[in-house]
Chain A
């Protein structure tokens, strides 16, 4: 039974612990504090969390670039600490920072990657041609990468990770720094890849909508551990009910007390002119809310009803809003180690 599960498990991390020393007389940074998760073969697994939560450290350990202090990890059933060489032959890595050689053309970058993975020159040429077509880089394939726009270079990064048809692909924040259109194109491409090439994808992101859109399962990471895991739907339905959001026409402290008397509404929070609540029956709650506020003479600018978002899930499990968590993170461990990513 355990063996069967192992065969179906493409990625497995058990109690990973990683501490970085930051210099003499400074406290060490505890990047991972017992992080565990597993992802089934052929699925897209999302690690979601703010900067500094430990996502990139996890990817580095799973892709053999870094070694965990304690804990174990397996990729395609292979122990990363015991057989890093075998792991490297089965994975493709698209790191958070660009990893393309600016002094080479796209075709040269791709050919080198393929040949290092043991592809013949002929196979590598064919595959490179296929990938530049797929990512819309055909016209630029023989230009030096330093002349590329950010979006083009990012596409080439992903193409490089795919070159040798890896069993497991790591995508570390693939769309950070892309403009909205490039991001949406990249999403389409990742979704198509996961379906066509039937590989396992580990996606890290700090965009809630990205995880929601692409991942089959998600683990929410905060302060180096997984605080919640499941499918996006499971995580959202764990919250029970819909979110009610009321924008008042002006600040009105009485609103909270008024709404607490509406029977179908619970978990009411208020922030300036914004009142949030939760309900199991949105269709009845909304008219009741409007009626109660109207009766109390409180003017309403807008009232909306929404299915719970991953933001709500994050708020519940990490104890704070997603944006706030990103700001509070210790200026991102990842950010300080990669000055370019911080820009």
Chain B
């Protein structure tokens, strides 16, 4: 009677997809049962957009600030989309920490669910959240009067870049969670990486107005890749190839981080 189940679990690629779908479903269902998180997740980016938009409005008047044809809000919107994606996904590992704490992770690890599927599920879960949050930010910006010459295609590129960035940070967060198994460490590491990476990018500031070294560092910063791709697409500033180049860099970073997160399970098992 057990053999029937064993054979049906034998077809690998399909099994990984099914397991990813099942585990993603579980994460999404849990999120729906915590409405506070849903509300905060939607309200927070809106506050950032409006707060930063007001606070730094005068920046756009500085000589040399390239904000395209529009004002600061147009410049800021892609930046806030990426901030939101990064900050939210840096917490992705918390789901593992909770599962470790509740014994659920060990039960999953002793089941046929693959490690790849377990990582993919958290990534897909974060990606869905990022799509919703990014559209919310763009929607609020439009309501506040911003206009984007890039149109629907520009918004599409922005959402794609945000999802890729979210995947990079979710995978990193998953790996840190599995390796350290400490909420405090995860918080410290995500604070330590996300804030500097945000300010070492053009998310809220035109880098041509920053010291030269900031621009040099930003060239290697995934946040900057995402912000540049999104801004150029939204404001219809640059050619297609520049956008594609940055998206390709982000996609490569996702693959590297995803692989590392899957490997982190090995270390977790070793110390178990």
Contacts and interface: CB of A to CB of B under 8 A. Distances in A.
B110 A63 contact: yes
Interface string B8-51: 11000001001100110010011001100000000000000000
Determine which residue in B8, B112, B270 has the highest number of CB atoms from chain A within 10 A of its CB, and name it: B112
A118 B5 contact: yes
B241 interface: no
Contact of A116 (B103, B104, B112, B269): B112
A165 B272 CA distance: 26
A93 interface: yes
B6 A88 contact: no
Given A103-B30, A104-B26, A112-B26, A85 B107 contact: no
A89 B104 CA distance: 17
Given A116-B19, A116-B22, A103 B113 contact: no
With a 10 A CB-CB cut-off, give which of B18, B26, B107, B108 has the most chain A CB atoms. B107
A64 B5 CA distance: 19
A160 B272 CA distance: 22
Contact of A104 (B15, B29, B106, B107): B29
Contact of A101 (B2, B22, B102, B110): B102
A107 B23 CA distance: 15
B6 A116 contact: no
Contacts of A166: 2
Contacts of A91: 110
Interface of A: prevailing SS: loop
B109 A98 contact: no
Given A85-B112, A117-B5, A117-B111, A99 B103 contact: yes
A223 interface: no
Given A60-B272, A103-B33, A116-B112, A65 B15 contact: no
A104 B22 contact: no
B26 A88 contact: no
Contacts, number: 93
Contact of B110 (A64, A86, A108, A119): A64
A88 B109 CA distance: 8
Q: How large is the interface on B (under 10, 10 to 19, 20 to 34, 35 or more residues)?
A: 20 to 34
Contacts of B8: 118
Contact of B5 (A89, A101, A103): A89
Interface string A48-72: 0000000000001001111100000
A20 B272 CA distance: 9
Interface in A74-118: 85-86, 88-91, 93, 95, 97-104, 108, 112-113, 115-118
A209 B54 CA distance: 71
A112 B6 contact: no
A205 to B, nearest CB: 18
B110 A89 contact: no
Nearest to A63: B110
B1 interface: yes
Contacts of B271: 20
A98 B108 CA distance: 13
Contacts of A276: none
Given A98-B102, A103-B30, A116 B111 contact: yes
A275 B111 CA distance: 51
Contacts of A113: 107, 111
Given A103-B29, A116-B108, 13 more contacts: A60-B272, A65-B109, A66-B272, A89-B2, A89-B5, A93-B107, A99-B106, A101-B102, A103-B30, A103-B33, A112-B23, A165-B1, A165-B2
List the 7 closest A-B pairs by CB distance, nearest first. A118-B9, A99-B107, A99-B103, A118-B8, A66-B272, A97-B103, A93-B110
